[in-house]
Structure formats: C-alpha cells, structure tokens
C-alpha cells in the first residue's frame, strides 16, 4: 500500500491531512461583517458602518491528534510555494488514547449587509466543506499506516466502540435579520438570526458501535465482532448516471441564532466619520450564539450499508487493497464481512456541526480591546459532523480603516495555538496557527483565512450621511 493510499484511508478516519477554527482574529471585530455572522449573526446590528459588500473570503483549517509533520520540514511553507508534500510523515500515538480529527473549508461568496438605526439585514452565499472523526482507537489508525503488518500486535485481540466519522460539502444561500431590543444610556441589547438553504453535493458517515479484531499474520485481518453502519452519497467513478462531484445529492436547512449585550454603548463611536476613532465604543459586550443547527437530507446517489458479524471473518491480503472510493469500500466490506452484497439505495440525514458559543469583549480604551471566547460542540447523533471545542483569548488594536490582532487558542481545550490577523482597507488576512507556519511547532494543524470586503457609509434610516470608510 503506497503512501498516497495510506493517507487517503487515514484521512477518512482522521481528516487532519485534508472542523473548524473560527477565524478568531476577525470574527469578534466590530468590523467583522460577513466574516463574523457564522460565529454570531448579531454582530451586524448597530455595526459601525452602513453597509458591507463581501467580494470573497475563505478560511481553511485542519487539526488532528495523530498525524503530524516535523517542524524542521517546513511543510506548510513548501505547500504554499507549490513544492508539494514529501514522504516524511511522522506519527505520534499517546498509548491508550483515542484519536480525533477535524477539517473545515469555508468560502464566502458575494454577500451584502445593510445596517439601519434599529435593525439590520443581510444576504450571503457560501461554500462549506466539513470533516470530523472522533474517538478513533489509536491501534486502528496505526494498523492502517503500517499496512496491517504491525508485528507487536499480531495475535492480540483489539476492541473499539462508539467511534466514527462524518463528511459533507454544500453550498449555502441565506439571509440574516436582526434588531435592537433595548437601547438606553447604560444598556444595549440586540439579536439576530441567520437562516440558510443548503444544496448539498456529497456526504457520508460511518458509525461503529463495536469492533473486535486481530492480526493472525501480516496482512491478514480477522474480524471477530463488528456492528457498524456506513451511509454515503458521492460521485461514483465508473457508475453510469452518478453525476459529477458537484451534482445535487441532498438538500437541507440550517440556522444560527445570536444575541449581544453591550454595557454603556457610545453611539458617536459607531458613526462612520473619522471622529468615531476618538471615542471608546463601550465598556464591554457579551455575545451568545447557537451555531449551525439543522440537517441535510441526501436522496440522490445515496446508499446505506449495515455491517454486522458475530463470527470470525478472515480478510486476507488487506495490505494490498487500493480503496479508490466509497463505492469500492462498500462492496469489499459487504463481501468480506456480511458475505454478500447488501448495500441499499436509501437516503439518509446528516446533521450540521452544531455548537454553543459565548464571546466577551472588553474595551480597554478607544482603540485596544481584549476578547475571551468559548465554543463547545453540541453533538447529539452518530450521523452528525462534530465541531472542535475551542477557547480563544485575543488582543486587538482596532480603527475604522485598519486593525491588527493576536490570539492564543486552545483547540479541544488542550492543543495550544497562536494566531495573528490584519485588516487593512478592503483586505483581511490571518491565521490561528502561526507557529506551524513559522516552523516552530510540529504540524498537527494548519489554518489560514483571508477576505476582500467593502464597508460603506450612507444614511441610516433618515439620518445624516457621513464619509465612507473607503474612499
């Protein structure tokens, strides 16, 4: 089994080689706009601009606890300049631990926000790609990498339960609407909801309730017990009528709700003129949000396979197999474990990567801010994409036309990362994984985001016009 095949299989279980960092350097900015509505849509209500047009923005993130590139190989910079990845993957396995992985791609297309005095609305387009794997037994990931030839493990019976993976990509067409609920000298409360229609292209999930196996000989796997379900809707190479990778295979809906309380908000600091930079915007603000609650129903090219055995099944030559796509995996597993082809052409649901989040933002003075944000996944079904738990502490220097920030973040509450971001004029760029880019840290993760967006000033309701942020 060559390196590319190994990576493909491990990526299916631990997609760190391919859910999600949240662009911490820009998401909590008062000027985040369309790059902030995915964390908390109420950010657009009473924002310090009158309208925003997002040209394009993107965020790519990946993290896993198993596979890494050594820091001295400078893999991320090599990939960035087009040199590709060399065959120098190393592996680290904390003995007795489960492994996990998350990957996320967000591309925000043309989108628009209109800010009025007491309400705001917006329309957005996006493309999203998510993968997650959770509670994967370390020994299983190791066997895959070692072509099921790992000598110390022969004749040892291994067991794993309640683990799986999920993967989906979809387009997003949605709208955001929010209002000011309370506006006094000391208290300001606003809310917003983001709803989206989700045409889906591909999706899959694997739910393993229990598995027991051993290696009697190198390349010979004996499955003693297995209870699992595989469901997928993908482009199937060689199958007539299966369509392209971006054919419509499912449809779903999703919603994100958010609210923000601001203590002693200063209205003049939220005007578009240059004078607004001289005022402290507020004492502090606290935001709460419920993110990505919804599901996708797959109905085209959809298949479901229940994999069950309580008697020994011997799989010889597993080290020479080449898994090209899920349809081949479906056929091979069905024949080897179930003893017959019993995959069903049947639709299935896949739940979105839901989470709850709290954001606390403290204004040190009129330009410096300190932010502490918490995000925790809400995982309620085996057929669901899991989101990574996160805590991020950010310091930013913010002005109308530019800002800079630095953060320290804890992914899954234990894996430490650092990040920086810059917004200048229409351009935003940042990363929440700076040490990996600089070669200081081994690469278990990577993250990069950028955006091009225009903020404008214009009359709010019947108010007086003010100079544009961008001239």
| Residue 85 pLDDT | 56
pLDDT of residue 20 exceeding 60? no
Contact 376, 356 (CB under 8 A): yes
| Residue 166 pLDDT | 95
Does residue 17 or residue 420 have the better pLDDT?
A: 420
pLDDT of residue 308 exceeding 50? yes
Q: Report helix, strand or coil for 2.
A: coil
| Residue 91 pLDDT | 64
Which tokens in the block code for residue 400?
């109308």
Interatomic CA distance for residues 374 and 75, integer angstroms:
30
Interatomic CA distance for residues 211 and 223, integer angstroms:
8
Highest mean pLDDT out of 18-22, 45-49, 224-228, 336-340: 45-49
- State CA 401 to chain mean position distance: 29
Q: Report helix, strand or coil for 132.
A: strand
pLDDT in tens, 386-395: 999 999 999 9
Give the residue-averaged pLDDT of 210-239.
Answer: 83
All residues at 6 or more sequence positions from 359 whose CB lies less than 8 Å from its CB, including other chains? 28, 39, 40, 260, 285, 286, 287, 288, 289, 371, 372, 373, 374
C-alpha neighbours within 13 Å on the C-beta side of residue 396: 31
C-alpha neighbours within 13 Å on the C-beta side of residue 319: 14
Backbone phi, psi, residue 72, to 5°: -75, -5
Pick the CATH number of 3-456 from 2.60.40, 2.40.160, 2.30.30, 2.30.29: 2.40.160
Contact 134, 163 (CB under 8 A): yes
Over pLDDT 90: what percentage of the chain?
A: 58
Cα Rg of the chain (Å, integer):
24
Give the pLDDT band (50/70/90) at residue 128. Answer: very high
| Residue 409 pLDDT | 94
| Residue 139 pLDDT | 84
Nearest to 256 by CA among 421, 378, 102: 378
pLDDT in tens, 254-268: 999 999 999 999 999
Contact 27, 36 (CB under 8 A): yes
Give the residue-averaged pLDDT of 340-364.
Answer: 91
Nearest to 373 by CA among 57, 40, 103, 2: 40
pLDDT of residue 23 exceeding 60? yes
- Where are the domains positioned within the chain? 3-456
Interatomic CA distance for residues 192 and 197, integer angstroms:
17
Give the residue-averaged pLDDT of 270-276.
Answer: 84
Question: Which one-letter DSSP state was computed for residue 235?
Answer: -
pLDDT of residue 90 exceeding 80? no
Between strands 250-263 and 119-137, the pairing is unpaired
C-alpha neighbours within 13 Å on the C-beta side of residue 72: 1
CA distances from 37 to 9, 94, 114, 126, 289 (A): 34, 37, 13, 12, 10
| Residue 239 pLDDT | 52
Q: What is the dihedral of CA 440, 99, 84, 417, to 10 degrees?
A: -30
Give the residue-averaged pLDDT of 212-220.
Answer: 81
| Residue 66 pLDDT | 78
pLDDT of residue 343 exceeding 90? no
pLDDT in tens, 394-420: 999 999 999 999 999 999 998 889 999
Nearest to 67 by CA among 102, 24, 30: 102
pLDDT of residue 143 exceeding 60? yes
Contact 119, 35 (CB under 8 A): no
């Amino acid at each position: 089994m060559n390196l590319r095949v190994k990576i493909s299989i491990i990526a299916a279980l631990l997609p760190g080689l391919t859910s999600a960092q949240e662009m911490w350097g820009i998401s909590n900015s008062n000027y985040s706009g369309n790059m902030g509505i995915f964390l908390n849509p109420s950010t657009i209500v009473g924002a310090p601009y009158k309208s925003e047009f997002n040209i394009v923005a993107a965020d790519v993130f990946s993290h896993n606890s198993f596979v890494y590139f050594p820091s001295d190989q400078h893999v991320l910079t090599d990939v960035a300049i087009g040199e590709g990845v060399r065959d120098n993957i190393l592996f680290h396995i904390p003995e007795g631990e489960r492994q996990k992985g998350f990957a996320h791609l967000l591309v925000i297309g043309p989108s628009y926000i209109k800010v009025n005095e007491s309400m705001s609305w917006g329309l957005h387009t996006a493309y999203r790609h998510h993968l997650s794997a959770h509670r994967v037994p370390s020994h299983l990931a190791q066997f895959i990498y070692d072509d099921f030839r790992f000598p110390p493990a022969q004749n040892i019976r291994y067991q794993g339960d309640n683990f799986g993976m999920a993967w989906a990509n979809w387009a997003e067409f949605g709208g955001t609407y929010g209002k000011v609920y309370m506006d006094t000298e000391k208290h300001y409360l606003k809310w917003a909801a983001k709803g989206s229609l989700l045409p889906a292209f591909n999706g899959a999930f694997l739910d393993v309730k229990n598995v027991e196996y051993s290696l009697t000989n190198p390349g010979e796997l004996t499955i003693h017990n297995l209870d699992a379900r595989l469901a997928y809707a993908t482009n199937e190479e060689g199958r007539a009528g299966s369509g392209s990778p971006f054919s419509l295979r499912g449809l779903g809906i999703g919603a994100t709700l958010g609210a923000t309380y601001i203590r002693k908000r200063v209205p003049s600091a939220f005007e578009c003129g240059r004078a607004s930079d001289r005022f402290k915007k507020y004492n502090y603000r606290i935001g709460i949000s419920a993110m990505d609650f919804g599901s996708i129903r797959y109905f085209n090219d959809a298949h479901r396979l229940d994999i069950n055995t309580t008697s020994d099944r011997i799989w010889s030559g597993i080290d020479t197999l080449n898994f090209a796509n899920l349809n081949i995996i479906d056929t091979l597993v069905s024949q080897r474990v179930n003893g017959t082809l019993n995959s069903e052409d049947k639709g299935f649901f896949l739940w979105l990567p839901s989470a709850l989040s709290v954001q606390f933002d403290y204004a040190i003075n009129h330009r410096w801010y300190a932010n502490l944000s918490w995000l925790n996944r809400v995982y309620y079904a085996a057929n669901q994409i899991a989101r990574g738990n996160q805590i991020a502490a950010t310091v930013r220097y913010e002005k109308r036309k530019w800002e800079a920030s630095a953060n320290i973040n804890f992914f899954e509450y234990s894996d430490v990362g650092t990040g920086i971001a810059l917004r200048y004029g229409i351009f935003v760029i940042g990363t929440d994984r700076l040490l990996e880019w600089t070669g200081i840290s081994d690469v278990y993760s990577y993250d990069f985001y950028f955006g091009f967006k225009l903020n404008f000033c214009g009359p709010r309701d019947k108010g007086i016009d003010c100079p544009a942020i961008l001239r």
